[in-house]
Amino acid sequence: MYTLPIEVQKYFKKKLSGKWKIEITNPKIFNNIIVIPAIAELDNIKILLKSLAVNDKKYFNTTLILFVINHTYSASPGIKDNNEKTIKYLRNIVQSNSLEENFYAGLNIAFIDACSGGNELDNKNGGVGLARKIGMDLALEYFDYNLSSKNILICLDADCEVAENYITSVIEYFNTNKVDAAVINYEHNIREYNENTKAIICYELYLRYYLLGLTFAESPYAFHTIGSTMVCDYKCYIKVGGMNKLKAAEDFYFLEKLSKITDVGTVKSTSVYPSSRPSFRVPFGTGQRVNRFLLHTQNEYLLYNPQSFVVLKYWFELYNKLKDSDISKIMSQIQNINPHLFEFLHQQKFEIFWQKIISQKLNEGQIIKQKKYWFDAFKTLKLIHFLKDKSFPQINMFDAIDSLLALAGIENTIERNKTVLPDLDIQKEYLLLLRKLQNK
């Protein structure tokens, strides 16, 4: 390979593991690399590749599809067998010996073997975060850094499908708008009428309601955090220290880090279609929530009270214009917004943080940066949970959506009987309304 930029070389010295490598025929360099972790996903990989193959071929030559086939040392025999077959399948494609090569013609496909003997992930760290990290780190060696166009790392999952304009839309969004980080619009399959569809509608309503609340509150963290929709350029990736190794919520914390150094946009002109299957692989996230719904372990039709987002909105209005050095005056203003907001911020040692900021005599830009770092996406979520426990208990899902839409001044013409759970068609109407709002 040719000489890499200094910042990439420095990153590799600190972060890169030499244990894994990319298997690719006729190595060349690319502008866009789609990184896809996969564990026992042979059948789904075939479906995903077919959806990628029918994309517009405009950027095929400059785009690499990179799978990270992985499992830990302690994985079950079934997972190990499926991954072994997946490696064989992909190796045949990469070496152009597969019967499917004509269908995938034009796609540049490569893979990382993180599952064969000696290549497995360790039991302590092995999971989706480490798998993404391995792929994204090694991808940095295969970028064409000599061209003016952006070098983009695109995250996807093996159990997804994508729209026919996916590759073109993402690449052109980044290069036309000079964006450094973004998430892509997503939509789960809600065409069926079964328990799994009920589960995924309920979960996606939860996700989109929380995003609606953040948008209403004018939070800088108003974007969804789904791993298969994350995109960033290589400079941002390096600046935030790369992907984390978390086994779950790796997407939330990675996007939070990105949002602290740049604005996170949304690619609305295309979509990722994530799986809606139940799963025990991670302690939370889509698969776990679907599984919990199907087991009927708790009432899933509850959402945060919209008043929590009202408190958050007032807090951001105060926080964003905060310049006063009189901490007692500031705390009095916070108390007036909501006593439990006061309690939460006191517990989070806001007074100490603010007195430190004032004592440093920072300029306005530095203060804005420090404020964003301190009250981040995680503290935002913690505040909403705190208010749920202290001030505003959760309420019926559809009452909550109606109320938040009204607070935001958004027209809602959906008719329902407010004394019973809406039937599936009406639930779909609510979801389609939120999708439409968030994809404008």
Confidence (pLDDT) at 298? 77
Render 333-382 in DSSP notation, one character per residue: HHHHH-HHHHHHHHHTTHHHHHHHHHHTT--HHHHHHHHHHHS-HHHHHH
Q: What is the pLDDT of residue 283?
A: 47
Which has more pLDDT, 165 or 97?
165
Question: Nearest 10 degrees: CA dihedral of 308, 309, 314, 320?
Answer: 130
Ramachandran assignment for 23, one of left (phi > 0), alpha (psi -120 to 50 degrees), beta (any other): beta
- pLDDT at residue 380 is higher than 80: yes
Strand order in the sheet with 108-114: 22-23, 108-114, 63-70, 32-38, 152-155, 230-233, 181-186, 264-273, 161-162
Within 102-242, residue ranges assigned H as helices are: 128-139, 166-177, 195-216, 234-239
Classify domain 6-191+220-277 by CATH number.
3.90.550.10
| Distance between CA atoms of residues 319 and 219, nearest Å | 11
CB atoms within 10 A of CB 17: 11
How far apart CA 9 and CA 6 sit, in angstroms, is 5
Residue with more model confidence, 13 or 373 = 373
Q: Work out the pLDDT band at 386, boundaries 50, 70, 90.
A: very high
Q: Residue 63 has what pLDDT?
A: 97
Tokens standing for residue 311 = 């408190």
In angstroms, the Cα distances linking 409 to 75, 128, 307, 374, 399 are: 51, 39, 15, 30, 15
For residue 428, CA distances in Å to 181, 192, 284, 404, 413 come to: 30, 11, 23, 18, 14
Measure the CA dihedral 274/276/281/286, to 10°.
80
Q: Is 108 helix (H, G, I), strand (E, B) or coil?
A: strand
Closest CA to 139 of 248, 232, 257, 253: 232
Task: Give φ, ψ of 215 to 5 degrees.
Answer: -65, -45
How far is the first Cα of the chain from the last one, in angstroms, to the nearest whole number? 42
On whether the CB atoms of residues 437 and 212 are closer than 8 A, the answer is yes
* pLDDT at residue 102 tops 60: no
Query: 96: phi > 0 → left, psi -120 to 50 → alpha, else beta; which?
Result: left
Check whether 67 has a pLDDT greater than 50: yes
Residue 103 has pLDDT above 70, yes or no: no
Phi, psi of 232 (to 5 degrees): -155, 160
pLDDT in tens, 254-299: 999 999 999 999 999 999 999 875 554 544 456 566 667 666 677 8
The DSSP code for 434 is: H
Strand partners, 205: none
Domains of the chain, by residue range, sit at 6-191+220-277, 306-390
157, 274 Cβ separation under 8 angstroms: yes
Per residue, what are the HEC states of 132-146?
Answer: HHHHHHHHHHHECCC
Q: Does 75 score more than 50 pLDDT? A: yes
At 313-350, the pLDDT tens digits run: 999 999 999 987 789 999 999 999 999 999 999 999 99
Q: What does the pLDDT read at residue 60? A: 96
Residue 263 contacts residue 181 (beta carbons within 8 Å): yes
Return the pLDDT at 99.
Answer: 46
